[in-house]
Structure 1
Amino acid sequence: MSLLERYIFRRTLIFSLAALGALVLIVWIVQALQRVDIVRTSASAAGNMFWIAMMLIPDLAAGVVPFAVVIGAVQALNSLNADSERAVIAASGARNFVVVKPILALGFAGALLVLVISHVVGPIAQGAFYNGLRAVNADAITLFLTPGRFEEVQKKLVLSVGNVRGSTISDLFISDQRDPAVDLNYFAKEAQIAERDGQKYLLLFDGQLHRRAVANGAASVIQFQTYAFDLATLQPSDDGDWIRTSERSTSELFLPDPNDKLYQSKPAAYAKELAQRFSDWLYPLAFAMWALVVAGQPRTNRQGSGPAMALGLAGAITLKALGFVVLALIDTDIRWQAAAYVVPLASIASNAAFIWLNTNLAESRPILAVGGSFQSIGQSLASRFGGRTASRGAA
């Protein structure tokens, strides 16, 4: 890269890293707050929860890297225009490639980062995250319990609670159908998580146990004052059927075990995960090129930078949403797997055409018409509410 190209790349990288850090932090806080109740149990619970939540960061980063690229690229290009540097570059006779090359370099860097996360770091972090959730103990059990909802914490094992206060649970219901010979339903007015002799138990108080034999339908009801439910029974008994596709390595997805229960029941899940891992890296490149389309042209200081950022984010969100829809369709028909690659590749091809033709999309008539409409609506609202404020002040 030339000196000028390195300067543009450095500015773009700084803006992108700032956007990436902010986006990851916001999404991570939202995810962590969904399980904040566990922190109230003990200091060790808070430490465990922090470690489990940290394992979300690689997957969250892979999801927001494309948006960080488009935000950083558009912001850098807007700043070049605001400082009249972009106009000077154009007036000096420099080719557009001087601006295009550093933005594309950022897109390729983002693509490489997503590739490493998708195929190496992501599966390891996802495995650590879900293994932390599966390590059922006095601290982690509340991760599965949301008041007022029926949560399937394990296949054919459903729990529901009225309220959770630390390690104390009120209005507990447990439906246990894991034994093919008998169905068990527990009702308890109160329950408490306790540890005795190194074992974790859920102590049920003042409740009933409803037992029904599957073979003949014979039912019995047992009234109890105290009953101990062993939390160790919540841990998976099989050796791999409970591992999600996001935790499996790419080689395992390519060559799945024919005896794998998950592969036998949901083969489309493997195709979907593979399509996502091998298509996600294309989005940072597509978004970088989209930033060049909407903000790469030189502008005067009188032309605002807001439309370029709005158009950049709108296009990025639309493309990513379309990609999510296509991935969801793979669950119903595996033939949609090819479309997962077509969506970002089509965006890259169309953006490349716009860049090659030196098209100023932000100044096109449809975009200007939409922007003018919003501006008219804003002025109308401002005059209406501003008039009311002025009349009230005069009164």
Structure 2
Amino acid sequence: MTLIERYIFRRAFTASAGSLVSLVLIVWIVQALSRIDIVKTSASAAGNIFWIALMLLPDLAAGVVPFAILIGSVQALNALNADSERSAMAAAGASNAMITRPILLLGFLGGLFMLFVAHGIGPMASSAFQNGIRSINADTITLFLQPGRFERVRNDLVISVGETQGSTVKSLFIHDTRDPNLDLTYFAREASIVETQDGQQVLMLFDGQLHRKNRANSAVSIIEFQTYAFDLSDLKPSGGRDWIRSSEMSTWALLQPNLDNSDFQRNPGRYDEELTDRFSSWLFCIAFALWAVAVAGQPQTNRKATNLAMTLGIAGAVVLKALGFLALSLVNDNRLFVLVVFALPLSAALFDAILIVRGIDPSQLRIFQVIGDLPIRFAKLLERLQGRRLKTATGGSGK
């Protein structure tokens, strides 16, 4: 790269890195808080969830990298225009390619990072996160659960407590639908977790009832008990494949799935969706980088507002990404949408390249001018309506 290209790349990289850190922290804090809202008084439990929430960072970072590149690149290019540096480069004979190459290189680096996360640390971090959640689920009764709330520990297991006192809970309710033939509902005045000699955790229920409903004939039987042992071992991390989600599996495992896996037999399209996402998501970095050059790479006077470039850049990126999410969600039902998922960022990148080569400013296109004028027209309409109301009120008082 030339000296000017290195200068542009350094400014865009610094702005993109700052945007990436900010976006990841915002999204991560929201995700982490949504998972610690049931923590009560145990500091160790809060620490465990904080550590588990760290496993979200690789996927979160990969998810916002394209937007960070877009925002950072637009900021850097706007700064060049604000300092009249872009105009000086154009006057000195610098071509659009000289401005595009460093931004495009930044997009490729972001794409490589996304590929590394998708095929490397991403599945491992996702597996560590899910296993941590599963291990916490085994301790949910004593560490979590707010009194009076029904918490879904798993899709087929709901637990509620009336009061917690250390390792003992009062007024326990459990609705267990893990058995395909029976619905089990437990009521107990008191319960506590007991660990057996072989390390197995058992929830001992005292003074309660067990309601058993046969799904075949809807027959209900009620059993009263003084003590009852509820096995919690199924809530711990398991090596069985039924526990493993497609996001936790390596790319090789997705390419060579176990045909006897019950999860694969139930929903094979989920594997296609995961593979498509891993191999296509990096293309958005290229498309967004080129879009940043298209909306902010043209030389402009420093007296022209630069917020339009950022607004147009983010709006276009959000629309493209939304279409990508929509197409990806349809892969599960129809494999033909795999082509659509790849075609969206590639066609967007081609469109951006045409704008750059021809030196077309997207903000000058008729469709974008109409969209940009909508707020002004709306403000004028409100001003006109307010003037009519004022005129009507003044005429009425004159009478």
TM band (smaller chain)? 0.7 to 0.9
Distance 1:61 1:241, change over 3 A: same
**Kept in 1: contact 2:96–2:357 (CA 8 A):** no
Counterpart Cα distance in 1 of 2:176 and 2:357: 63
Distance 1:163 1:253, change over 3 A: farther
Distance 1:115 1:180, change over 3 A: closer
Counterpart Cα distance in 2 of 1:168 and 1:199: 18
Partner of 1:83: 83
TM-score by length of 2: 0.86
Partner of 2:42: 42
Partner of 2:346: 345
Distance 1:6 1:318, change over 3 A: same
Counterpart Cα distance in 2 of 1:164 and 1:66: 47
What is the deviation of 1:144? 9.2
Cα shift readout 1:343-367 (whole Å, capped 9, x = no counterpart) = 1111111111111111111222332
Partner of 2:395: none
Is 1:15 the counterpart of 2:15? The answer is yes
Counterpart Cα distance in 2 of 1:330 and 1:192: 46
What is the deviation of 1:161? 2.8
Partner of 1:284: 285
Question: Counterpart amino acid of 1:129?
Answer: F
The percentage of counterpart residues that share the same residue type is 51
Distance 1:225 1:255, change over 3 A: same
**Kept in 1: contact 2:42–2:143 (CA 8 A):** no
1:126-141 to 2 correspondence within 5 Å? 126-136=126-136, 139-140=139-140
Secondary structure of the residue aligned to 1:362 is helix
Specify every segment of 5 or more residues in structure 2 that has no aligned partner in the other structure, as ranges.
Answer: 391-399
What is the deviation of 1:129? 0.6
**Kept in 2: contact 1:38–1:45 (CA 8 A):** no
Partner of 2:29: 29
Question: Counterpart amino acid of 2:185?
Answer: N
What is the deviation of 1:136? 4.2
**Kept in 2: contact 1:5–1:102 (CA 8 A):** yes
Cα shift readout 1:174-204 (whole Å, capped 9, x = no counterpart) = 3334345544221346656566765544454
What is the deviation of 1:297? 0.7
**Kept in 2: contact 1:327–1:337 (CA 8 A):** yes
Counterpart Cα distance in 1 of 2:74 and 2:162: 47
What is the deviation of 1:320? 0.5
**Worse overlay, 110-119 or 41-50:** 41-50
Is 1:248 the counterpart of 2:249? The answer is yes
**Kept in 1: contact 2:290–2:349 (CA 8 A):** yes
Distance 1:381 1:89, change over 3 A: farther
Counterpart Cα distance in 2 of 1:376 and 1:216: 66
Partner of 2:336: 335
What is the deviation of 1:262? 1.3
Cα shift readout 1:313-349 (whole Å, capped 9, x = no counterpart) = 0000000000000011112222212211111111111
Counterpart Cα distance in 2 of 1:169 and 1:85: 68
Say what the alpha-carbon RMSD is for the aligned residues: 3.1
Partner of 2:394: none
Cα shift readout 1:40-78 (whole Å, capped 9, x = no counterpart) = 342221221111100000011111000001000111111
Counterpart Cα distance in 1 of 2:45 and 2:308: 47
**Kept in 1: contact 2:190–2:207 (CA 8 A):** yes
**Kept in 2: contact 1:173–1:187 (CA 8 A):** yes
**Worse overlay, 179-188 or 22-31:** 179-188
What is the deviation of 1:142? 8.3
Question: Counterpart amino acid of 2:236?
Answer: Q
Distance 1:5 1:169, change over 3 A: farther
Counterpart Cα distance in 2 of 1:325 and 1:144: 36
Question: Counterpart amino acid of 1:104?
Answer: L
Partner of 1:391: none
Partner of 2:272: 271
Cα shift readout 1:240-291 (whole Å, capped 9, x = no counterpart) = 1220000111111111111111111111011101100000010011000011
Partner of 1:161: 160
Partner of 1:326: 327
Counterpart Cα distance in 1 of 2:17 and 2:355: 27
Secondary structure of the residue aligned to 1:135 is helix
Distance 1:382 1:310, change over 3 A: farther
Specify every segment of 5 or more residues in structure 1 that has no aligned partner in the other structure, as ranges.
Answer: 389-395
Distance 1:381 1:228, change over 3 A: farther
**Kept in 2: contact 1:81–1:87 (CA 8 A):** yes
Question: Counterpart amino acid of 2:124?
Answer: I
Cα shift readout 1:108-160 (whole Å, capped 9, x = no counterpart) = 11111101001101011001111111114664568996875563615xx3204
Partner of 2:397: none
**Kept in 1: contact 2:246–2:254 (CA 8 A):** yes
Counterpart Cα distance in 2 of 1:163 and 1:318: 47
Counterpart Cα distance in 2 of 1:144 and 1:56: 21
**Kept in 2: contact 1:209–1:222 (CA 8 A):** yes
Secondary structure of the residue aligned to 1:223 is strand
Question: Counterpart amino acid of 1:307?
Answer: L
What is the deviation of 1:10? 0.5
Counterpart Cα distance in 2 of 1:43 and 1:203: 25
Counterpart Cα distance in 1 of 2:257 and 2:8: 45
Question: Counterpart amino acid of 1:174?
Answer: I
TM-score by length of 1: 0.87
Is 1:66 the counterpart of 2:69? The answer is no
Distance 1:363 1:206, change over 3 A: farther
Counterpart Cα distance in 1 of 2:26 and 2:220: 51
Partner of 2:393: none
